[in-house]
């Protein structure tokens, strides 16, 4: 899809990306949008000159954002479909949003279910918008959530995009408990349900029971693996606070070695979760990062990888180093809204906004 990305870029900017001069021109255009990719990286990416290198995912994400997409994955989804199919999907998506907006949630859900069945992966990010509508209200939308379960729209792929980490009113936790009985659920979802609830209990100050956590290999699910790491740290803080820092540093060092040859996206997820645990347990000012890890984290912060929930804790940890010049552009360029409140809470802490942090904390860690 790299050739398709290049072609769409050239249409947007009005000149060919066939020289160092033109790559510099694109670099300048990107900077005006708070997107930072060097002309040399662009040249290597598009085979200008003698050297060609495979671009980072963060670079592909930034170029996709420049074109108006939410991520490189989003760009690929839309470019894998015909213009006719995209128009048909857009019509249905707008119809669904209008019903939700005007309070006709059951009608909106029916449209969503039809969209999921017909358009599949194309509708993944629509799930997040539905989550915001259902879980960010005081009253439990019980009828709507039961309707989703009854219709069987809880397949694993859907659950991947239907996470609502903030869950200020406990509705999402209610949903996953009730959805767990659906026939289509996998062991991964059962593990996710356990981990989500256990993490919330620990953040609310409830000492977790001694039941063992699910065993999860990073190759099975990087998201579940990262959640387990975070919970282990939270448990240690609750049960053996004196040993927390030593335990955390050991886990961090092991994790950095494990991630060394992993995909960039995996690194963002796992380090984001691990750093979030450091922030919540108050040891974020004490942990030690090696030069390579710190450099990678800086690149994550400077990218528009559209993963606010992982970028925010990484920023919060790096902010403790006064020598680093960090940009908050990522906070304003994100489309993926999962853990938005918690992310903003961690940034408020990093910026020393005590009252703001405490206000967020009351909402994000509210007991239900």
Are 167 and 83 in a shared domain? yes
Give the pLDDT confidence of 73-125 residue by residue, as tens digits.
778 877 766 667 777 888 888 888 888 877 788 888 888 888 888 887 777 77
366 — pLDDT class (breaks 50, 70, 90): low
The reply to whether 80 and 12 lie within a common domain is: no
- Hey, which of 98-112, 264-278, 350-364 has the most confident mean pLDDT? 264-278
Considering the domain boundaries, does residue 64 fall inside one? no
Domain extent at residue 319: 199-205+212-368
Radius of gyration of the chain (CA): 22
Residue 29 is assigned to a structural domain of this protein:
yes
Helix axes 264-281, 222-239, angle to 10 degrees: 20
Q: Report the mean per-residue pLDDT for the chain.
A: 82
**Are residues 87 and 48 part of one domain?**
no
For the stretch 49-68, pLDDT in tens is 777 788 888 888 888 888 87
d(Cα 59, Cα 65) in Å, to the nearest integer?
10
Out of 104-113, 166-175, 312-321, 326-335, least confident range: 326-335
Q: Is pLDDT at 1 greater than 80 in this prediction?
A: no
Residues 264 and 361 in one domain: yes
Residues 363, 233, single domain; the answer is: yes
How many domains, in total, are found in the chain?
3
Q: Closest by alpha carbon to 285, among 317, 331, 253, 330?
A: 317
Which contacts qualify for 197-203: CB closer than 8 Å, 24 or more apart? Answer: 197/173, 198/231, 199/227, 199/230, 199/231, 199/234, 200/167, 200/173, 202/231, 202/234, 202/235, 202/237, 202/238, 203/234, 203/280, 203/364, 203/365
Reported as a pLDDT band with limits 50, 70 and 90, residue 233 is very high
240 and 147: one domain? Answer: no
Is pLDDT of 228 > 90? yes
In a domain, 67, yes or no: no
Predicted confidence (pLDDT) per residue in 297-310, tens digit = 887 776 655 577 88
Query: Would 109 be classed as within a structural domain?
Result: yes
> Could you please report the per-residue DSSP string of 92-156?
HHHHHHHHHHTT-HHHHHHHHHHHHHHHGGGGTTHHHHHHHHHHSSSS--HHHHHHHHHTT---H
The single-letter DSSP state of residue 284 is: T
- Lowest model confidence (mean pLDDT) among 114-118, 199-203, 326-330, 363-367: 363-367
With contact defined as beta carbons under 8 Å apart, do 134 and 145 qualify?
yes
Residues 143 and 218 in one domain: no
Enter the pTM of the model: 0.71
Q: Is 61 contained in some domain? A: no
Integer Cα distance of 208 and 337 in angstroms: 28
Q: Are residues 12 and 92 in the same domain?
A: no
Decide if 135 is inside a domain: yes
Give yes or no for residue 187 having a pLDDT over 80.
no
More confident residue, 205 or 304: 205
Within-domain flag for 66: no
Look at residue 259 in the predicted model and tell me its pLDDT: 86
């Amino acid at each position: 899809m790299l050739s398709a990305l290049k072609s769409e870029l050239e249409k947007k900017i009005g000149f060919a990306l066939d020289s160092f001069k033109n790559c510099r021109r694109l670099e300048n255009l990107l900077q005006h949008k708070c997107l930072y990719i060097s002309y040399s990286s662009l040249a290597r990416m598009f085979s200008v000159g003698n050297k060609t290198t495979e671009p980072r995912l963060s670079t592909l994400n930034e170029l996709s954002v420049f074109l108006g997409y939410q991520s490189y994955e989003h760009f690929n989804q839309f470019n894998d479909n015909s213009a006719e199919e995209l128009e048909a999907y857009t019509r249905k998506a707008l119809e669904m949003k209008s019903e939700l907006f005007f309070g006709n949630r059951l009608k909106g859900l029916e449209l969503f279910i039809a969209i999921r069945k017909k358009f599949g992966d194309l509708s993944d990010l629509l799930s997040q918008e539905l989550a915001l509508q259902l879980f960010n209200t005081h009253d439990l939308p019980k009828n709507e959530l039961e309707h989703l379960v009854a219709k069987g729209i809880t397949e694993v792929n859907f659950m991947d995009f239907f996470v609502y980490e903030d869950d200020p009113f406990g509705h999402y936790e209610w949903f996953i408990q009730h959805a767990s009985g659906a026939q289509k659920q996998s062991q991964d979802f059962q593990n996710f349900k356990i981990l989500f609830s256990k993490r919330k209990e620990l953040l609310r100050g409830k000492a977790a029971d001694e039941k063992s956590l699910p065993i999860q290999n990073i190759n099975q699910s990087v998201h579940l693996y990262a959640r387990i790491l975070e919970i282990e740290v939270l448990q240690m803080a609750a049960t053996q606070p004196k040993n927390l820092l030593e335990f955390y540093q050991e886990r961090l060092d092991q994790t950095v070695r494990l991630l060394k040859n992993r995909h960039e996206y995996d690194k963002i997820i796992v380090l984001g979760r691990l750093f979030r645990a450091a922030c919540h347990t108050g040891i974020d000012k004490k942990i030690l990062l090696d030069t390579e890890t710190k450099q990678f984290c800086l690149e994550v912060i400077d990218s528009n990888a559209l993963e606010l929930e992982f970028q925010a804790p990484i920023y919060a940890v790096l902010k403790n180093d006064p020598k680093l010049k960090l940009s908050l552009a990522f906070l304003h360029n994100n489309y993926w809204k999962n853990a938005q409140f918690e992310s903003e809470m961690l940034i408020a802490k990093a910026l020393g906004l005590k009252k703001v942090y405490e206000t967020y904390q009351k909402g994000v860690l509210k007991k239900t």
